[in-house]
């Protein structure tokens, strides 16, 4: 619900976490303004500086000083795309909240179609990209990750993307999760299965580079697995049981061979191979358990999802009802 001191609702809030695409913000605002005016919608644009590039905040402040619908929020450090998006959502006044990237790959002109597809019964709409402008390797890795995550987390909407239209009552429920490293699409998939998609054209990145390096992509995938799926634990359990069974059968084979005379020297090499293999499996299982324990410790500490240490002045900005909740 809204805090009594907050300004009244508007039609649409557009939330954009800003990391490396500050050069595109002026064009993004221009295209958003044209699209919202054409659709006859009242709107605001919340730009959240996730501490990616030093020139991001000056660019955000410049837009906020020139356009009253622009609100700038600056995080105290880099908390990640999903935390920055939640920050924007928690400061939003719109009846519908649009989340999109800062690099113009998500076309503002598609927002009206996404809003038309949404309703009280369908509170979540994803922009679906039939073709993406990424490299072949990036597209292949993305599809592989989607396929894997869908099997680890069956409830996950397989057409998820960061281009979303979320009905405000649903969006505000995101603050109920106590996750130090939130994953918005996993949270939304857990809350509702009433989602739909609208096909949109994937724009070309003309400014900056993707913030998702291979290292970040792998870390992101691990976080999703550990936070929303028990599959790693099941794999560890089944793997441990399988290794135990194989080891037992091998032991029976060695005992039988020894007493039957077929094996006179079981062999140091084969014995050490089995021991090292079993130790490797045990370390893997301990690593999986450690990831889960780490998430539990993070939830126990109740660390904030984000911390805002700067905001642009102006009539559009307001004090949020849950600014530092984790």
Q: Are residues 194 and 281 in the same domain?
A: no
Q: Are 209 and 240 members of one domain?
A: no
Distance from C-alpha of 138 to C-alpha of 108, rounded to nearest angstrom = 23
The answer to whether position 221 is within a domain reads no
Strands annotated E in 205-324: 308-311
pLDDT reported for residue 57:
95
Q: How far apart are CA 322 and CA 320, in angstroms?
A: 6
Do both 36 and 63 map to the same domain?
A: yes
Q: What is the pLDDT of residues 54-109, one digit of tens each?
A: 899 999 999 999 999 999 999 999 998 999 999 999 999 999 999 999 989 899 99
Please report which helix (H) or strand (E) contains residue 73, including its range. Answer: strand 70-75
Q: Express each pLDDT in 284-324 by its tens digit.
A: 777 777 666 766 665 666 678 899 999 998 655 654 434 44
Are 135 and 239 in a shared domain? no
* Predicted local confidence at residue 132, as pLDDT: 61
Mean pLDDT of the region 107-119: 95
Q: Nearest CA to 63 among 315, 312, 308, 318? A: 312
Indicate the number of domains in the chain: 2
324 in any annotated domain: no
Average the pLDDT over 259-274 and give the result. 64
CATH number assigned to the domain comprising residue 142: 3.90.550.10
Q: Is the pLDDT assigned to residue 235 strictly greater than 50?
A: yes
Task: Find the angle CA(172)-CA(178)-CA(183) to the nearest 5 degrees.
Answer: 70
User: Does residue 117 share a domain with residue 22?
Assistant: yes
Q: Which two tokens stand for residue 290?
A: 């450690």
Q: What is the C-alpha separation between 296 and 293, in angstroms, rounded?
A: 5
Who has greater pLDDT, 44 or 249?
A: 44
Co-location of 209 and 237 in the same domain? no
- Establish if 319 belongs to a structural domain: no
Residue 223 lies in a domain: no
Per-residue pLDDT tens for 3-22? 444 556 899 999 999 988 78
Residue 244 inside a domain? The answer is yes
**Whether residues 184 and 62 fall in one domain:** yes
Residue 226 lies in a domain: no
Query: 2 lies in a domain?
Result: no
Residue 198 shares a structural domain with residue 244: no
CA–CA distance, 321 with 1 (Å, rounded to integer):
8
**Cα–Cα distance for residue pair 92/140, rounded to 1 Å:** 35
Q: What average pLDDT does this structure show over 185-202?
A: 90
Of 101, 111, 197, 211, nearest in space to 158 by CA: 197
Average pLDDT, the chain: 79
Burial of 260 by CB count in 10 Å (0-12 exposed, 13-18 middle, 19+ buried)? exposed
- Dist CA 123 CA 130 (whole Å): 22
**What is the per-residue pLDDT across 34-59, written as a single tens digit (0 to 9) for each?**
999 999 999 999 999 999 888 999 99
Range of the domain at 268: 231-301
Which residues, at least 6 apart from 130, have a Cβ–Cβ distance to it below 8 Å?
199
**For the segment 132-179, what is each residue's pLDDT rounded down to a tens digit?**
655 556 556 666 666 666 666 667 777 888 999 999 999 999 887 877
Q: CB neighbours (10 Å) of residue 191?
A: 17
Q: Identify the weakest region by mean pLDDT among 6-20, 208-222, 237-251.
A: 208-222
Is residue 240 assigned to a domain? yes
Residues 175 and 246 in one domain: no
Same-domain pairing of 48 and 127: yes
Q: Average pLDDT in the 106-117 region?
A: 95
CA-CA distance, 144 to 154, in Å (whole number)?
15
**Same-domain pairing of 184 and 168:** yes
Does 190 have pLDDT greater than 50?
yes
pLDDT of 120 over the 50 cut: yes
Q: How far apart are CA 190 and CA 184, in angstroms?
A: 10
Instruction: Record the pTM.
Output: 0.73
Q: Do 29 and 80 reside in the same domain of the chain?
A: yes
The token pair that represents 306 in the structure block:
């984000």
Question: Which pLDDT belongs to residue 2?
Answer: 38
Distance CA 74, CA 83 (A): 12
Question: CA-based Rg of the chain, rounded to a whole angstrom?
Answer: 25
């Amino acid at each position: 619900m809204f805090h009594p001191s907050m300004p009244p609702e508007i039609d649409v809030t557009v939330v954009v976490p800003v990391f490396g695409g500050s050069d595109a913000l002026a064009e993004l605002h221009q295209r958003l303004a044209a699209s919202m005016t054409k659709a006859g919608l009242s709107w605001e644009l919340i730009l959240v500086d996730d501490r990616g590039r030093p020139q991001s905040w000056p660019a955000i402040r410049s837009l906020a000083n020139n356009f009253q619908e622009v609100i700038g929020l600056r995080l105290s450090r880099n908390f990640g795309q999903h935390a920055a998006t939640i920050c924007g959502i928690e400061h939003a006044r719109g009846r519908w909240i649009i989340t999109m990237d800062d690099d113009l790959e998500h076309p503002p002109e598609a927002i009206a179609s996404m809003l038309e597809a949404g309703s009280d019964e369908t509170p979540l709409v994803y922009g679906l990209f039939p073709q993406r402008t990424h490299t072949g390797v990036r597209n292949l890795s993305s599809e592989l990750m989607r396929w894997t995550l869908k099997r680890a987390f069956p409830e996950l909407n397989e057409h998820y993307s960061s281009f979303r239209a979320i009905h405000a009552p649903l969006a505000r429920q995101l603050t109920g999760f106590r996750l130090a490293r939130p994953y918005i699409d996993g949270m939304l998939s857990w809350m509702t299965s009433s989602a739909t998609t609208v096909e949109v054209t994937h724009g070309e990145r003309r400014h900056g580079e993707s913030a998702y390096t291979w290292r970040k992509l792998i870390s992101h995938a691990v976080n999703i697995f550990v936070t929303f799926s028990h599959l790693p634990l099941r794999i560890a359990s089944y793997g441990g049981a399988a290794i135990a069974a194989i080891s037992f059968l091998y032991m029976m084979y060695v005992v039988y061979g020894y007493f039957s005379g077929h094996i006179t020297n079981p062999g140091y090499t084969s014995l050490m191979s089995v021991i090292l293999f079993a130790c490797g499996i045990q370390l893997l299982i301990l690593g999986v358990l450690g990831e889960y324990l780490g998430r539990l410790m993070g939830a126990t500490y109740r660390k904030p999802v984000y911390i805002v240490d700067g905001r642009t002045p102006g009539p559009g900005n307001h004090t949020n009802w849950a600014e530092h909740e984790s």
